Structure 1
């Protein structure tokens, strides 16, 4: 039934600042835009989508505080990635945590209140090597 992550949506009160922050973090501009409403980036080996949405379009009842589920993006080096996120103004949410068998996680809250998880994930690399 679930075949893969298609789009993760983050919300921001200042959409332009969020677009600029993620452009700086990723090193490239969004590939798709809806002026005043939405920016979308394609990320990584499988071109997963990160959508930045003007918070005025958030679902009813959506909170303006971090919480809920955390999606972890695979990174090659959690420490380097974590340090870069902090240097760009993100705040630690969960410290770097070894989970065993080569799995390492951490997460931050971006300057717009969204939780961004990062992870070294041997399973991701195993699946990638089969492609």
Structure 2
């Protein structure tokens, strides 16, 4: 009878030893898992930083494009001003040409003994 009890105790001892070994392995797995979780958090942090950098670049591109649009609007405004100035220039040339020929006409009329206007 004592033999059966000893054998049973031996089996329990082996089971307990096995469980202890599994427990040590499990503790090691948990300990190894902590750096993996830390690495995962670190990688998520880096990915978040990268996304922030990407969004920052997008913001820079948007601001640059906005500045470009303002410059384009200024250029269009200058273009309108230049067009108006060009039209004014043509008007002045036409007016000057008219005055020039009018003056010649008046001089021609005076030289022909008329009252200054040729008829």
**Shorter-chain-normalised TM-score: which range?**
under 0.3
TM-score, normalised to structure 1's length?
0.13
Q: Which has the higher contact order (CA 8 A, sep 6+)?
A: 1
Calculate the TM-score normalised by the size of structure 2: 0.14
Hey, which of these two has a bigger chunk of helix by percent?
2
